[in-house]
Amino acid sequence: MNDHPVAVVGASLAGLAVAARLAKQGHRVVLFEASDVLGGRWARPGALPPVFTLPAPWRDLFRKSGRAFDVELARTGHALVPAPPAVHRFDDGTSLVLPTDRGEQWTALSAAWGSPAAIRWRDLLDLLDERWQVLRRLGLEDEFLDSDLTSRRRVALGLTRTVEHLARGIGHPQAAALLRSTARRIGSDPARTPGFVAVRLALERTFGRWQLTRDERPVPASDLLELLTARLELRRVEVRAGEPVTALRSGVVVTASGQLVVSATVSAVNPWEHLRLVTPGERTLRRRTSWTRPAVAPQIAVSAQQRVGFTTDYGVETNSLSSTGADARVDETVEHTRSGVRVRYRLPDQEIVHDFTSGSPSPGFGTRWTSSRTWLRMPPLRAETARVFTASASSRGGNDPWAQLLSGALAGYVVHETLTGADIRPTNKAAKP
């Protein structure tokens, strides 16, 4: 290994992931964070959604940084268990419980919307399943290069169609609202967001919905950040919280305390902050970023919740505060309104609201889609500054929490290969543990 450490700038979700992975591979890692807390915007209470669509990146992160995910959860009394289906409420007063099981989803939609609409929905999600197989190779499981966006892949992804196009073509108002919500929940306008973003609906149908529990009671997903922070300590990552980085150069990280010579740097901050740190370099990214804007993050509210006498979204009243029944689950209600989407998560003792109707642009929430060209304007994994790499909510995999974990994984693979010559990507079977 190189005598100099690897620097990770920014304790975002992607930054935490890459720091843990690189430390497990034997690298000395120094993590810089300007604030006093780790996790970036996800450290705020209630910010990390308590329902998971794709837990595999979490499992892979913990396995590749030490102890297996399920073992780590069990050690602290946690478990990842199936979450109940979300309840969708529409502005016409109707509601829909949307199961994730393919057959149950068909039955529910046929009963609520009729067979023709259910058929169109099923066929669209089947198409989105196919698009997911293309999409996962573009910045999620593999490094995204501009040349990867070939004409064949453009056609396969339907890049000429936006989420709004899909919504209008589905021929049903409630189904259209569900489609539009996939863009709105990542802080973008459905009319400007590529249609493949709607694969999130197909992912939920394929991989299900999951929630975190402790002692068989639902808990906020922020517990995962605590476990990840503990993993950094176990892997002996040097954490310099409250020490903002003022400049990045090839092989050097500058703070108010002085300069640190490094073997490589992972910039895990948003692209606008990244460009401030590398001034005046990275002209290509600077030009491309001038065309981008931050995604609209939801307004988050957390309040106490009392379940006594609470009537669930299924019309079943409960007076129990035990760890069974309604108290053992996270109830998610998605309100589709003319002004946007509002998501309510109800846990046994608190309610978390993600209100996208009153959200505001936030650099830490990623990049807002303005067209499919936004893909090419996001920061590449390899920065123009030598031995500087990027991983953040604005990476080309997207701003979902699971996508940020994957961007951290990709950065870890590339940094390790750059410094050692060893390919530890999962596709390299010889390198698998």
Residue 433: cis peptide before it, omega within 30 degrees of 0: no
Under 8 Å CB-to-CB from 25, ≥6 apart: which residues?
412, 416, 424
Q: Residue 177: which of 62, 86, 274 has the closest Cα?
A: 86
Chain segment 132-146, per-residue pLDDT in tens:
999 999 999 999 999
β-pairing verdict for 350-361 and 296-304: antiparallel
Which contiguous run of DSSP H or E holds residue 283? helix 283-289
pLDDT for 153: 95
312 confidence band (pLDDT: 50, 70, 90): very low
- pTM equals 0.93
pLDDT at 160 over 50: yes
pLDDT digits (tens, 9 = 90+) for 32-55: 999 999 999 999 999 999 999 999
**What is the mean pLDDT of the segment spanning 20-32?**
98
Q: What is the pLDDT of residue 315?
A: 38
Count of CB atoms situated within 10 Å of the CB of 147: 6
The C-alpha atoms of residue 21 and residue 323 are separated, in whole angstroms, by 35
Confidence bin at 130 (pLDDT 50/70/90): very high
Q: Cite the DSSP H helix spans in 31-160.
A: 56-64, 69-75, 102-113, 115-135, 151-157
What is the rounded average pLDDT of the residues 236-254?
Answer: 97
Region 54-74 average pLDDT: 95
Q: What is the pLDDT of residue 127?
A: 97
- For 187-198, how does the pLDDT look when each residue is reduced to its tens digit (9 = 90+)? 999 999 999 999
Query: For residue 232, is pLDDT > 90?
Result: yes
All structural domains of the chain, each given as residue ranges with its CATH number in brackets, are: 6-79+218-292+369-431 (3.50.50.60), 98-207 (no CATH)
**What's the rounded mean pLDDT across residues 14-39?**
97
The pLDDT of residue 3 is: 87
Average pLDDT over residues 258-277: 98
pLDDT-based confidence at residue 307 (cuts at 50, 70, 90):
low
**Residue 274: in which H helix or E strand, if any?**
helix 271-277
Residue 238: in which H helix or E strand, if any? strand 238-241
| Alpha carbons 135 and 152: distance in angstroms, whole number | 12
Mean pLDDT taken over the chain: 93
Only one residue has tokens 């999951």, namely: 210
pLDDT at 103 over 80: yes
